[in-house]
Structure 1
Amino acid sequence: MPGKSPATKKIVVSEAGKETDRRLDQHESYEFGGPWGVTAVMIGFPLLMYYLWICLWFYDGQLVYPNSTADVSPFLARMWAHICEDANPSVYAWQVYGGNIIFQLFLAWVMPGYQQEGLPVPSLNYKTLMYNCNALYSLYATMITAATLHYTNTFRLTEILDNFGHLMSVAMICGFTTSFGVYFWAIASGSQMRMSGSFIYDVFMGAILNPRIGHIDLKMWAEVRIPWVIVFFFAVSGGCKQYETLGYITPNMAFMILATWLYLNACAKAEECIPQTWDMYHEKWGFMIIFWNFAGVPFSYIYSIVYMARQDPSKYQFSTPTYVVLFATLLTAYYIWDSSMSQKSRFKMQTQGITTFRNTFPQVPWCIIENPTYIQTAHGNRLLTSGWWAYSRKPNYVADWVMSFCWGAVIGTATPIPYFYSVFFIVVLVHRVGRDFERCSVKYGKDWEQYCQVVPYKFIPGVY
């Protein structure tokens, strides 16, 4: 049934809703092609990451391949030689990558933070967990520390990009070992849930929902402190490298520094919104999330930076109007993404009775909806129909994808590899939407049908 403010009246899940939640909290069918599909992903994606890096690093961003059947073996031998020589997990790479992991854990442990209550978790009998949101303090402590190390020549930031291949291998090893380690930890502690019975599938999807070390929620910690910190410092490393070799930073590299900082700062300054997301209250912490946070995001989203750091700027320079359009598109998409994410998360907080919100920089206009409209479901939850969410069921996904496209478009047509992020991302988003909407259809029934009539477009209003 339709509803309007006050949304601050706390939701109460009905008995029928709890029964539906119990069903959805069980393994009923395989996703991602089942055990064989996830095995292919776990093997294939790291190999693809190595291949695209080799093309960027040694072949000027051109996609290389065997010219004939007879050339397959020599081609594979060359690929393997590149990995062994320039992407081996060196001691230096372990020190840098491992040092960052330890430092981020230390900051998460000691930095003061904003205490945020998460959503009721069905698998925990609707218990709510508390989250210590100190990513913002940790971010600025990291930036100050990095600047100090750089300017004292203790650790030059240019060295991050110089060791890209070595760091990527270490990140992959950490992603695999953490995934399997957390799986066995869950089994040993008896905290596994929603298991399929297939070992490799359960490692991929995860066995545990909210693993913690003290007050540190590892899943939320890894979602912000690892991938986006590394992504940002790769951009900074690229800027430092250009400044040292060219005497200036190109507008294209400046664009990536701004873009990565906006994303990282948004995740840190609105960390209290993360507990309200699907990743936190439903997705388990398995290879799908762990490897992506440890290696996938930081080493496959920033191919444009890798390309620019090793190529002459004349290969990817634009006219001034093109730069204006590029920056304007990024900032517009960022605004829609930031505000729509805030609207949805704070609406969910309102349904928990939370009316006081954190004020961090920058709080963009229209980030909180006054007197929101919504559909009150028989389940007990509410479906937002105000703000950006009145026009699209996933406005945040659309804006997020536009930003990802800009991260590739910043080098124009010099090489197709930096567009991997946006191509891969749209596949992930479409698949994720399918999973989400199927779950909502089961969970809300006729109320979901009514919601789809009120908000008919999945992504782009008037289009799709």
Structure 2
Amino acid sequence: MYTQLNPKTKEKDFFGVFGSVIITLLLPTVVLFLYLCCNETYVIDGISIDFNKINEIVQDELIDNWKSLLLNFDCWLFYLCWFFGLVLFDLIMPGKTIHGVELRDGSKLEYLINGWQLSLLFVSLIIGRLFYVGDFNLPELRFLTDNYLSLAVTSFEFSILLSIFVYICSFIPLRDVNGLKTNERILAIGGNSGNLFFDWFIGRELNPRIKSWDIKLFCELRPGLLLWFLLNLSNLQKQYLELGYVTNSLVLVNLLQAFYIFDGVLNEEGCLTMMDITTDGFGFMLAFGDLTWLPFTYCLQSRYLSFKNYELSLIQSCLIVSIMIIGYYIFNSSNKQKSLFKKGKLPNLKSIQTESGSKLLIEGWWGLSQHINYFGDILIALSWCLPTGFNTPLTYFYIIYFTCLLLHRQTRDEDKCKKKYGKYWKEYQRLVPYKIVPYIY
């Protein structure tokens, strides 16, 4: 398909340099806006925003306190210990070594898969710490609660530095095992435009590594995901210390999201075939998304509920759990079906044979829609938002954003498949016309 190892980028995603500049400025602003609408001083109520309150917070916490916010020694110490502590565990924990997808040069990268081991250690350390303290009053969780905004800013600054680091490294030649011959790094098809800012933003190198340690996979599944879990736990602790009990809505959000978090960590092998790993470069977009956006926006529901003492009825709780179960079943079973099919373990399922040797599955889950797993993902997102009630649309930010993200991914995937499969893709679209939601879209 490619005449050279690293062809120049012809089509820039996100409207090129202009779009990448807008996104680089806009997304951190969104994180800040969500904080301003949900904090110790002010929690949004209904659809109207009290801009006088927000102006006061901006003056007190951003303008008057900008040095502490941008250069917070305690937060930097915490974040560096957190990030590189997880790096250390990722390197020393035992696990199994598997190969990723075949790259353009015919090679396959090795990955150490140790999500089970790391999860057991992580949970054991938290439980052990609780027993040691003797009460649900961990100082580490209080630190997260008390320094939420400063930690978000610190993770943002760290993501900038990390993306600069991997961008510079993408120009350093690799050497073979004998140290005699230089080799090109494999760059992302979409990140080799030659424009410094765009390539830094989108990610120039496909799989930046330090020896065998993969930076992209680590950031995808370790620091952001597990920090999201701790932020949720800190919100739980905050409410417990203030009220002496925890509302069932906050418990439910914590449980549903914790299940999703550890399911991702435990099934990290499945990430090796995802677009983030196989196609996208690792630059500021993914670094910021993994390290800042994910933990500090995905915890919005638990953060909101820690301020609003909202109780759910038994029927409401059962309905929400049912939506989560249905969504997870669709998401998990459809992904598992496609994985087994690709391994040749479901030969009886109908498919379209293409000239490239690939097969397009048109039966089972994948006969219902082209991205039936996205439909499951949307139901999961809905189950996280519903426990917050219907007092404000702010807590439904996640499902709105996530649906837009999945729609964008769907269009990117469709463009890629049109170029790759040609007439076979047209036949596939005729047989499987729905893109995400069966019989609707």
Q: TM-score, normalised by structure 2?
A: 0.88
The answer to whether the aligner puts 1:145 opposite 2:125 as a matched pair is: yes
Alignment of 1:155-304 (within 5 A): 155-189=139-173, 191=185, 193=187, 194=189, 195-304=192-301
Q: CA deviation at 1:245?
A: 2.7
The answer to whether the aligner puts 1:342 opposite 2:322 as a matched pair is: no
Match of 1:393 among 360, 370, 381: 370
CA contact (8 A) 1:276 1:345 kept: no
Q: In 2, distance between residues paired with 1:132 and 1:421?
A: 31
Q: In 2, distance between residues paired with 1:41 and 1:79?
A: 24
Q: CA deviation at 1:203?
A: 0.7
Query: Which residue matches 2:178?
Result: none
Give the letter aligned to residue 334 of structure 1: Y
Query: Which residue matches 2:85?
Result: 103
Deviations 1:235-291 (A, max 9, x none): 222222233332322221121221222212221222111111221111111111111
Call closer, same or farther: CA 1:161–1:82 in 2, change over 3 Å: farther
Q: In 1, distance between residues paired with 2:387 and 2:33?
A: 22
Query: Which residue matches 1:49?
Result: 31
Match of 2:409 among 425, 432, 452: 432
Call closer, same or farther: CA 1:65–1:249 in 2, change over 3 Å: closer
Call closer, same or farther: CA 1:341–1:443 in 2, change over 3 Å: same
CA contact (8 A) 2:5 2:186 kept: no
Query: Which residue matches 1:415?
Result: 392
Q: Please give the secondary structure, in 1, of the residue aligned with 2:245.
A: coil
Give the letter aligned to residue 319 of structure 1: S
Give the letter aligned to residue 414 of structure 1: N
CA contact (8 A) 1:88 1:166 kept: yes
CA contact (8 A) 2:233 2:254 kept: yes
Q: CA deviation at 1:339?
A: 1.8
Please say which of residues 446-455 and 232-241 is displaced more in the overlay.
232-241
CA contact (8 A) 2:368 2:434 kept: yes
Q: In 2, distance between residues paired with 1:261 and 1:82?
A: 36
Deviations 1:427-463 (A, max 9, x none): 1111111111011001000111111122111011111
CA contact (8 A) 1:135 1:225 kept: no
Gaps of 5+ in 2: 174-183
Give the letter aligned to residue 421 of structure 2: Y
Q: In 2, distance between residues paired with 1:211 and 1:223?
A: 13
Q: CA deviation at 1:65?
A: 6.2
Query: Which residue matches 1:330?
Result: 324
Gaps of 5+ in 1: 1-17, 356-368
Please say which of residues 145-154 and 32-41 is displaced more in the overlay.
145-154
Q: In 2, distance between residues paired with 1:290 and 1:444?
A: 31
Percent identity reads 27
Query: Which residue matches 2:179?
Result: none
Deviations 1:324-367 (A, max 9, x none): 1111111211121122222223433x15xxx7xxxxxxxxxxxx
Query: Which residue matches 2:302?
Result: 305
Q: Please give the secondary structure, in 1, of the residue aligned with 2:102.
A: coil
Q: CA deviation at 1:200?
A: 1.0
Q: In 1, distance between residues paired with 2:436 and 2:54?
A: 42
CA contact (8 A) 2:6 2:186 kept: no
Give the letter aligned to residue 392 of structure 1: S
**Count of matched residue positions in the alignment of Structure 1 and Structure 2:** 421
CA contact (8 A) 2:152 2:292 kept: yes
Q: CA deviation at 1:88?
A: 4.7
Q: CA deviation at 1:87?
A: 4.5
Q: In 2, distance between residues paired with 1:98 and 1:418?
A: 30
Q: In 1, distance between residues paired with 2:161 and 2:303?
A: 26
Alignment of 1:25-64 (within 5 A): 26-57=8-39, 58-62=41-45, 64=49
Q: Please give the secondary structure, in 2, of the residue aligned with 1:33.
A: helix
Q: TM-score, normalised by structure 1?
A: 0.84
Deviations 1:176-229 (A, max 9, x none): 111111111112346363411211111111110111223321111111112211
Call closer, same or farther: CA 1:207–1:337 in 2, change over 3 Å: same
CA contact (8 A) 2:254 2:302 kept: no
Query: Which residue matches 2:176?
Result: none
Q: In 1, distance between residues paired with 2:382 and 2:78?
A: 29
Q: CA deviation at 1:419?
A: 1.4
CA contact (8 A) 1:34 1:201 kept: yes
Match of 1:118 among 84, 100, 107: 100
Q: Please give the secondary structure, in 1, of the residue aligned with 2:98.
A: strand
Give the letter aligned to residue 319 of structure 2: V
Q: In 1, distance between residues paired with 2:206 and 2:64?
A: 38
CA contact (8 A) 1:136 1:269 kept: yes
Alignment of 1:373-384 (within 5 A): 373-384=350-361
Q: In 2, distance between residues paired with 1:404 and 1:25?
A: 37
Q: Please give the secondary structure, in 1, of the residue aligned with 2:262.
A: helix
Q: In 1, distance between residues paired with 2:259 and 2:58?
A: 39
Match of 2:113 among 118, 122, 133: 133
Q: Please give the secondary structure, in 2, of the residue aligned with 1:289.
A: helix
Q: In 1, distance between residues paired with 2:378 and 2:151?
A: 26
